Amino acid sequence: MIGITAYGGYIPKLRLTRAAIAGAHSWADPGAAGKAKGARSMCNWDEDAITMGVEAVRDCLNSNDLGAHPDVVYFASNTLPFKDRQNAGVITTALSLDEDVAVLDVTASQRVATSALLQALAAVNGESYADAMVIASDHRRSKAASPQESNNGDGSAAIRIGQENLLLEFMGGHSRTVDFVDHFRGEHEEFDYNWEERWIRDEGYQTIVPPVIAKALQKSDLAAADIDHFVMPSTIGRAVQNIAKSAGISADAIRNNLHMECGETGAAHPLVMLLHLLEGDVSPGERIMLVGFGQGCDVLLFKATDKLADFKVRKGVRGCLEDKRDGDNYQKFLSFNELLVQEKGMRAERDNKTALTVLYRKRDMILGLVGGKCEQCGTAQFPRQDICVNPQCHASHSQQPYSFVEETARIQSWSADYLTYTKDPPSHYGMIVFDNGGRLMTNFTDVSVGEVEVGMPVRMVFRIKEFDQRRGFIRYFWKAIPVVN
């Protein structure tokens, strides 16, 4: 048997209320007030598809005791930060996964997450790999006042595939490829071009999806009435309900599309919806149908096992939805998404060229937050050096690589600086001391003025450190985020 062995998710902490979006555009669109319910998730300025993917995998890896790292990682996204760099490789390096891991970026369709999931299941079933990880993450930009501005959200999910300790058994599936263009983004375009919703609903969803559902059920020897949970994203009103009705699936099986809570998280949304379901509403033996739509359709069928009830995700999608910060600063949203031409001041004009040689040679330290731990006295330090910092030891070349990613720390000193350029002033930074004794001067993120205190516990998160606008390079590092109980 093959199936899902673990999962984890991440939704950014920030939310933008739709009331704020509607208020900004009501002068031109009197009907905007009717769209003012709920909120959409919103990346901080230092988040993107890669950083969200890292958090989803951390949630997945720390939610189970399988131990071994995956053999292959599929990264599904339509907003890859790099066009010519293995984005999945940044994630595996940040998480210090074995460099023998195979990676693949999967992109250019709204259903890339379900397609990657099918490929991972096939690879494990064919014994090409014993353990696979599928990551889906999207941070989409949209034009101001467009429907996508309100409907979209940012988020990610990670799912692990194997043959043992299954949470969900894969029962079968079917795919169909149709060059039906409901939206597209050309090579040199910044934003998606979207077609008319009624056409998408009637000629796209209603024509393409039901036959694929029928074939998937037939191949799995199931009937539509056997489906307990129907997971399919859509922002078009009643599209999913009509598909379920056409396929003979009960209306009670349709799952929450999370529109009010976070919006649609792009290519990640089928998996985000699935995780939200698994974290609270599935009993052993129940059957789940997962649908991905985009230039065709993927349908996957799963059966929950007894082990699902005992699986406890560390935070998951539901935890992220609860750990939120609602906001109505529409101007900040525009700024974070580079939708404003702003005066940044002279302090932002310095050259941020990255020394790629140093990045490569010290990739474990820079991307993986790997320091050292002395074999003689056990002292941990960052960065790793030739001489132990313990004054009672000073052993030479005694340090073994040691990751600080999951180590907890506390703030020893801090500053909030309005002079240093940052997209979200003031710039918070300071010295943190890890519980194991290591120390690091770092930036703080996801904080507001007055929230930082000496002694406050923090955890490390992988974020964007700087942009090299001249060369189009993104520099990543680890930052500290307060842990609020």
CATH at 266: 3.40.47.10
Same domain flag for 317 and 413 = no
* Residue 386 in domain: no
Task: Provide φ and ψ at 105, rounded to 5°.
Answer: -85, 130
* Residue 429 in domain: yes
Same domain flag for 363 and 296 = no
* Residues 6+ positions from 434 with CB-CB distance below 8 Å: 380, 382, 404, 407, 408, 409, 440
* Residue 378 in domain: no
* pLDDT above 90 (res 156): yes
Same domain flag for 124 and 264 = yes
The residue count of the chain comes to: 485
Query: Looking at residue 346, what is its pLDDT?
Result: 80
The parent domain of residue 472 ranges over: 352-369+404-482
- Mean pLDDT estimate for the chain: 95
Same domain flag for 360 and 306 = no
Query: Looking at residue 432, what is its pLDDT?
Result: 97
Same domain flag for 326 and 235 = yes
Same domain flag for 242 and 356 = no
Query: Looking at residue 64, what is its pLDDT?
Result: 57
* Residue 397 in domain: no
Query: Looking at residue 139, what is its pLDDT?
Result: 98
Same domain flag for 256 and 365 = no
Query: Looking at residue 68, what is its pLDDT?
Result: 67
Query: Looking at residue 420, what is its pLDDT?
Result: 87
Q: How confident is the model at residue 145 (pLDDT cuts 50, 70, 90)?
A: very high
Query: Looking at residue 30, what is its pLDDT?
Result: 83
Query: Looking at residue 331, what is its pLDDT?
Result: 96
The share of the chain scoring above pLDDT 90, in percent, equals: 90
Same domain flag for 277 and 421 = no
Q: What is the mean pLDDT of residues 39-56?
A: 98
Query: Looking at residue 29, what is its pLDDT?
Result: 86
* pLDDT above 70 (res 83): yes
Same domain flag for 356 and 327 = no
CA distance between the termini of the chain: 40
What secondary structure, in 3-state letters, does the chain show? Answer: CCEEEEEEEECCCEEEEHHHHHHHHCCCCHHHHHHCCCEEECCCCCCCHHHHHHHHHHHHHCCCCCCCCCCEEEEECCCCCCCCCCHHHHHHHHCCCCCCCEEEEECCCCCHHHHHHHHHHHHHHCCCCCCEEEEEEECCCCCCCCHHHHHECCEEEEEEEECCCCCEEEEEEEEEECCCCCEECCCCCCCCEECCHHHHHHHHHHHHHHHHHHHHHHHCCCCHHHCCEEECCCCCCCHHHHHHHHHCCCHHHECCCCCCCCCECHHHHHHHHHHHHHCCCCCCCCEEEEEEECCEEEEEEEEECHHHHHCCCCCHHHHHHHCCEEECCHHHHHHHCCCCCCCCCHHHCCCCCCCHHHHHHCHHHHCCCEEEEECCCCCEECCCCCECCCCCCCCECCEEEEECCCCCEEEEEEEEECCCCCCCCCEEEEEEEECCCCEEEEEECCCCCCCCCCCCEEEEEEEEEEEECCCCEEEEEEEEEECCC
* Residue 358 in domain: yes
- Of 101-110, 352-361, 455-464, the one with minimum mean pLDDT is 352-361
Same domain flag for 308 and 413 = no
Residue labelled with tokens 């939805």: 321
* Residue 374 in domain: no
* pLDDT above 90 (res 192): yes
* Residue 421 in domain: yes
Same domain flag for 44 and 184 = yes
Cα 6 off chain centre by: 15
The share of the chain scoring above pLDDT 70, in percent, equals: 99
* Residue 389 in domain: no
Q: What is the mean pLDDT of residues 3-22?
A: 97
Q: What is the mean pLDDT of residues 112-129?
A: 98
Query: Looking at residue 110, what is its pLDDT?
Result: 97
* pLDDT above 70 (res 66): no
Query: Looking at residue 67, what is its pLDDT?
Result: 57
CATH number at residue 357: 2.40.50.840
For the chain, how many structural domains are there in total? 2
Same domain flag for 163 and 232 = yes
Q: What is the mean pLDDT of residues 383-397?
A: 93
Higher per-residue pLDDT: 67 or 48? 48
Query: Looking at residue 350, what is its pLDDT?
Result: 81
How far, in Å, CA of 108 to CA of 76, rounded? 9
In this predicted model, what pLDDT tens digit does every residue of 319-359 receive, in sequence order?
999 999 999 999 999 999 999 988 888 877 888 889 999 99
Structure tokens at 77: 């996204």
